Amino acid sequence: MTITVFGLGFVGLTTSLGFAEYGHTVYGVEINDERLATIKGGQLPFLEPGLDEALVRHLGKRFLPIGINDLAEAVKQSDCVYYCVGTPYGKDGQADLTYLFSAIDQTLSVRPADKYQVLVVKSTIPPSTTSQKIIPYLEGKGLNVGQDLGVANNPEFLREGHCWDDFIKADRIVLGVSDERSAEVLRKVYATVQEPIHCVSLNTGEFIKYLSNTLLATLISYSNEMSLVADTIGGIDVAAAFRILHEDKRWGGATMASYVYPGCGYGGYCLPKDTNALYAVSNTAGFDAQILKNVISINDQMPAQIAKKVSRVVGTDKQRSIGILGLSFKPGSDDVRDTPSAKIIRELRLLGYTNITGYDPVAEKEFERYYSDLAIGYANSYDELIRQADVLVITTAWPEFANVKQLTQKPVVDCRYML
Ligand SMILES: NC(=O)c1ccc[n+]([C@@H]2O[C@H](COP(=O)([O-])OP(=O)(O)OC[C@H]3O[C@@H](n4cnc5c(N)ncnc54)[C@H](O)[C@@H]3O)[C@@H](O)[C@H]2O)c1
């Protein structure tokens, strides 16, 4: 098969290379020229183990990265068109669908009228988006969905830091479809895959992704609220309590248990925006979801709570040097979108602390690019930060920070409960 994929970010690049690995020919379209040039040059634009080797294997063979100017030829040849563009925070927490609709418009402007193609949204979009927004939009342009072209969704469950493995060894494939013809095309895309493939309604397909992300966010907010309860009561070893909780056989050693652990609040690109978007879409439809509302509210409080905890250790001298250990939103990734470290630093600034230096094994450049307004210093190494800071604050659970207490007697605020 031939497939066009819009967007070569974490999801789009992984999807493109994954489909190439399945044996399909994939055109990967990217509007960011710098990102496109990096990929064409055989490099990844972000840190992602395993994806680099897949890129080398397929680049210029079954994977062809292109700019918008070459779109017409790619779409003409394609059996389906995948959308992996961003769906960031929009107004009132709703998902912003601007990138998605602009990619759909770009497709429509070049699609061959006589060929049945399926437009497949892999980006995360709130339940009812396809049925209430995308299909009416296409029909408004005179297209008969199900006859002229198909529309479907195929949500992605990969985790950053594990993109390649999660895609190639997916637990399940979800196909949200409205007609059998589209389902047939999508089954062919995944013909070589052994994992369960579920064909469900359009709304169900979209909902399953939010069910997953909001459950993870709920587990994290629950754990963080419990850590605040424990701190307030006092005399409780929070890390020990959670580790002992995990010994309950019902967790069965499940990786899911790692979400039932306190920290700095969830961050990254997906959980914050998706939790807000589902809350917003439910609210607009007439149901004010109380658990979701509080999950979001607890998460929003975490940076200020942590800054207060840090200030109790640093004291009233606002010149004392604070060393932030970890800037990415999670270990194993250089993604700094919605990273808790930035929010905590902002809160520390509001409390009047001016002497803040950060260190991260991989994410310093990205952090500096995204958060230049924070104007913090950066250490060249872990050792340099330890030497320089009066108080250390662990904000990302990079395994290498686990020995910090062996390296220094200075106070350490362990916001990840990892020591
Ligand atoms: N990052 C994750 O862990 C993850 C996991 C599952 C699902 N998702 C969802 O997948 C979607 C993409 O996420 P991501 O992290 O890959 O985003 P990203 O920001 O890393 O990548 C999106 C890419 O799309 C490009 N783009 C935007 N408009 C375009 C257009 N018209 N034509 C071509 N390229 C265009 C951007 O330049 C960017 O490179 C989002 O909806 C997200 O919620 C993300």
pLDDT tier, 131 (very low <50, low <70, confident <90, very high otherwise): very high
The answer to whether the beta carbons of residues 176 and 155 sit under 8 Å apart is yes
Residue 258 CA to residue 255 CA, distance in Å, equals 6
340 lines ligand 1 (CB under 6 A): no
269 lines ligand 1 (CB under 6 A): yes
CATH tag for 2-200 (out of 3.40.50.720, 3.40.30.10, 1.10.260.40, 3.90.280.10): 3.40.50.720
Residue 16 CA to residue 65 CA, distance in Å, equals 9
Mean pLDDT confidence for 90-114: 96
Mean pLDDT confidence for 386-407: 97
pLDDT tier, 29 (very low <50, low <70, confident <90, very high otherwise): very high
Per CATH, domain 210-414 is 3.40.50.720:
yes
pLDDT at 256: 86
Return all residues near 298 (Cβ < 8 A) that are at least 6 apart: 221, 224, 225, 265
pLDDT tier, 92 (very low <50, low <70, confident <90, very high otherwise): confident
For residue 99, how far is its CA from the centre of ligand 1 (angstroms)?
A: 9
For atom 36 of ligand 1, which residue has the closest CA? Answer: 7
7 lines ligand 1 (CB under 6 A): yes
pLDDT at 255: 82
Is the full-model pTM beyond 0.85?
yes
Q: Which of 16, 32, 34 lies closest to 24 in space, CA to CA? A: 16
Return all residues near 342 (Cβ < 8 A) that are at least 6 apart: 327, 336, 367, 370, 371, 374
Cα–Cα distances (Å) from 347 to 184, 310, 371, 392, in that order, read 52, 10, 14, 16
For atom 13 of ligand 1, which residue has the closest CA? Answer: 86
Fold match between 2-200 and 210-414?
yes
The arrangement of strands across the sheet holding 377-378 comes to 377-378, 356-359, 322-325, 391-394, 412-414
pLDDT tier, 240 (very low <50, low <70, confident <90, very high otherwise): very high
Residue 411 CA to residue 419 CA, distance in Å, equals 13
Mean pLDDT confidence for 348-365: 97
Catalytic residue numbers, as ranges: 270
The share of the chain scoring above pLDDT 70, in percent, equals: 100
Beta pairing, strands 150-153 & 173-177: antiparallel
Q: Which of 204, 181, 36 lies closest to 129 in space, CA to CA? A: 204
Residue 55 CA to residue 227 CA, distance in Å, equals 42
pLDDT of 220 over the 90 cut: yes
pLDDT of 253 over the 90 cut: no
Q: What is the mean pLDDT of the chain?
A: 96
Residue 50 CA to residue 163 CA, distance in Å, equals 8
The answer to whether the beta carbons of residues 186 and 80 sit under 8 Å apart is yes
87 lines ligand 1 (CB under 6 A): yes
Tell me which DSSP letter residue 398 carries.
Answer: -
pLDDT tier, 414 (very low <50, low <70, confident <90, very high otherwise): very high
Q: Which of 353, 269, 370, 347 lies closest to 319 in space, CA to CA? A: 353
* Farthest CA pair distance, the chain: 72
pLDDT at 27: 98
pLDDT of 45 over the 90 cut: yes
pLDDT at 20: 98
332 lines ligand 1 (CB under 6 A): no
Residue 315 tokens, joined: 């004291």
Of ligand 1's atoms, which has the minimum distance to the CA of residue 270? 43
> Which amino acid belongs to residue 241?
A
For atom 39 of ligand 1, which residue has the closest CA? Answer: 9
Mean pLDDT confidence for 25-51: 97
| Cα 353-356-360 angle, rounded to 5 deg | 150
pLDDT of 273 over the 90 cut: yes
Residue 125 CA to residue 97 CA, distance in Å, equals 8
For residue 410, how far is its CA from the centre of ligand 1 (angstroms)?
A: 41
pLDDT at 322: 98
For residue 86, how far is its CA from the centre of ligand 1 (angstroms)?
A: 4
Domain boundaries of the chain, sorted by first residue: 2-200, 210-414
| Cα 274-67-3 angle, rounded to 5 deg | 70
pLDDT tier, 212 (very low <50, low <70, confident <90, very high otherwise): very high
267 lines ligand 1 (CB under 6 A): no
Mean pLDDT confidence for 167-180: 96
Rounded CA Rg of the chain = 23
417 — alpha (psi -120 to 50), left (phi > 0) or beta? left
414 lines ligand 1 (CB under 6 A): no
For residue 201, how far is its CA from the centre of ligand 1 (angstroms)?
A: 23
The answer to whether the beta carbons of residues 152 and 119 sit under 8 Å apart is yes
pLDDT at 370: 96
pLDDT at 204: 98
Mean pLDDT confidence for 286-309: 97
The share of the chain scoring above pLDDT 90, in percent, equals: 96
Looking at 79-181, which runs of residues are DSSP E strands? 80-83, 118-121, 150-153, 173-177
Residue 221 CA to residue 199 CA, distance in Å, equals 32
pLDDT of 254 over the 80 cut: no
Residue 239 tokens, joined: 């890390």
Residue 253 CA to residue 258 CA, distance in Å, equals 10
Q: How far apart are the first and last CA of the chain?
A: 50
pLDDT of 316 over the 80 cut: yes
| pLDDT tens figures, 158-167 | 999 999 999 9
pLDDT of 267 over the 90 cut: yes
Residue 298, classed as helix, strand or coil, is: helix
pLDDT at 250: 86
Mean pLDDT confidence for 9-28: 98
The answer to whether the beta carbons of residues 376 and 358 sit under 8 Å apart is yes
